[in-house]
């Protein structure tokens, strides 16, 4: 039985991930409707991702000082407000692009205080096996959001281009109320130090457990960088080479992301009872991602292409719950928000940078690009297996 608190918090990553993923199948129509260039329509993604990535560390620091819910609830409300303002601009303004862009910035600022604070709050409330299992459920919520968002965005866009933007508020405002009313938060254990002393404390903690920090952060960022970059590449390929557009392309891309969501759920449950195998889980997941990239070096027909994407989904689904557990176990409750959100900022930057980076396939060649990427991910798997130790997931408050 999933605790009510976890069910509510798992809705947060589901809603947050819609911020970009739901719009991806609509970008060609938004470009045409607002008479934009390819670069201008791409800024609708950047205008959301960049403020979110920059806001995440600040949200974590504030949550350590004032409480998770004190930041998470308003952040959800602002996230929904930004979406609603973008929808209103499309309906009411003759040339809405600037106003939609500004609304996306507002929405991104709100997004910066959502998923990572839900992770930090889960880390505060649950320990050891339960923590891994429930963080896996949060990652499953994130994965389910990724899986359904292309289909949902394409379906809503058939009714109105403004409708997907209103959905953000329709989902996030009830979620904010549920977090405020149904989620209980542990009180702060002590007065959090001033900002300079705060960063010094976090630096000392990360230095003491530093061998787990770098591979864990890189594994989480790298998986999402590769996932969104590969899906962006595959989306173009599905349309240009195989003639799949709109709902058809959305359904095709939902398959590997659905596998990721299912694997996240299984990995959370499996690793929850085997904390000593977190490093192996991260390494095996990264190797699966490397295999997928290696398969993509070949010129594939449609079905083999979709099959080649499955290890990418499965590997990412294995890595992310394990990395979440390592990150939330690195520090005590008072510093967990900042460290978790630093990791979350890297995840957001990975999502934002993946699509443009994978656009370089056309310049470097498919074989060279995917072969190099596969080798880099395989080396990261070795790094994770060697450097991450089980003690990294034992929070300081339990290590005495």
Q: What is the DSSP string of 307-338?
A: HHHHHHHHHHHHHHHHHHHHHHTSS-HHHHHH
For residue 236, pLDDT over 50 is answered with yes
| Separation between Cα atoms, residue 153 and residue 108, nearest integer Å | 18
Encode pLDDT of 49-75 as tens digits: 888 888 887 887 788 778 889 999 999
pLDDT of residue 274 exceeding 70: no
Look up residue 208 and give its two tokens: 């003491």
State how far the Cα of 45 lies from the Cα of 19, in Å rounded to an integer.
9
- How distant is the alpha carbon of residue 208 from its chain centre? 27
Most confident of 59-63, 197-201, 235-239, 357-361: 59-63
How far is Cα 356 from Cα 233, in angstroms, rounded to an integer?
A: 9
* pLDDT tens string 351-379: 777 777 777 776 788 899 999 999 999 99
Separation between Cα atoms, residue 362 and residue 248, nearest integer Å: 24
For residues 42 and 27, give the distance between their C-alpha atoms in angstroms, rounded to a whole number: 8
- Close Cβ partners of 255 (under 8 Å, ≥ 6 residues apart): 306, 309, 310, 313
What are the tens digits of pLDDT across the range 138-149? 877 877 887 788
Residue 171 has pLDDT above 70, yes or no: yes
pTM of the full structure? 0.76
More confident residue, 261 or 166: 166
Specify which of 65-69, 201-205, 212-216, 381-385 reaches the highest per-range mean pLDDT. Answer: 381-385
Q: What are phi and psi of 329, to 5 degrees?
A: -95, 0
Of 172, 173, 175, 156, the C-alpha closest to 164 is: 156
In CATH terms, the superfamily for domain 4-181+204-391 is MFS general substrate transporter like domains (1.20.1250.20)
- Of residues 133, 99, 97, the one with CA closest to residue 264: 133
């Amino acid at each position: 039985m999933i605790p009510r608190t976890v069910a509510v918090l798992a809705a947060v990553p589901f809603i947050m991930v819609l911020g970009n993923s739901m719009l991806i199948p609509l970008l060609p129509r938004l470009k045409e409707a607002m008479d934009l260039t390819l670069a201008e329509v791409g800024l609708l993604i950047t205008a959301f991702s960049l403020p979110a990535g920059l806001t995440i560390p600040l949200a974590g620091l504030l949550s350590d000082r004032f409480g998770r819910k004190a930041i998470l609830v308003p952040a959800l409300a602002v996230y929904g407000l930004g979406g609603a303002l973008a929808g209103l601009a499309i309906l009411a303004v003759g040339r809405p692009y600037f106003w939609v862009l500004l609304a996306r910035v507002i929405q991104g600022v709100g997004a910066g205080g959502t998923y990572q604070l839900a992770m930090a709050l889960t880390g505060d409330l649950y320990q050891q096996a339960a923590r891994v299992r429930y963080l896996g459920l949060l990652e499953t919520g994130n994965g389910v959001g990724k899986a359904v968002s292309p289909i949902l965005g394409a379906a809503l866009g058939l009714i109105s281009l403004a409708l997907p933007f209103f959905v953000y508020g329709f989902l996030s405002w009830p979620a904010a109320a549920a977090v405020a009313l149904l989620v209980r938060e542990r009180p702060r254990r002590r007065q959090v130090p001033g900002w300079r002393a705060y960063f010094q404390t976090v630096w000392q903690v990360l230095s003491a457990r530093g061998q787990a920090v770098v591979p864990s952060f890189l594994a989480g960022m790298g998986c999402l960088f590769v996932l969104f970059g590969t899906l962006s590449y595959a989306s173009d390929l599905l349309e240009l080479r195989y003639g799949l557009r709109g709902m058809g392309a959305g359904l095709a891309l939902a398959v590997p992301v659905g596998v990721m969501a299912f694997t996240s759920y299984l990995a959370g449950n499996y690793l929850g009872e085997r904390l000593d195998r977190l490093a192996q889980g991260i390494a095996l997941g990264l190797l699966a991602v490397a295999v997928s990239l290696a398969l993509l070096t070949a010129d594939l027909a449609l079905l083999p292409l979709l099959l080649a994407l499955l290890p990418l989904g499965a590997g990412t689904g294995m890595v992310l719950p394990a990395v979440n557990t390592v990150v939330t176990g690195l520090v005590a409750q008072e510093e967990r928000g900042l460290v978790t959100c630093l990791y979350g900022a890297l995840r957001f930057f990975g999502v934002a940078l993946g699509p443009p980076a994978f656009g370089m396939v056309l310049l470097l060649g498919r074989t060279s690009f995917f072969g190099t990427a596969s080798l880099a991910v395989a080396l990261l798997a070795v790094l994770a297996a060697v450097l991450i130790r089980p003690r990294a997931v034992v929070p300081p408050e339990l290590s005495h």
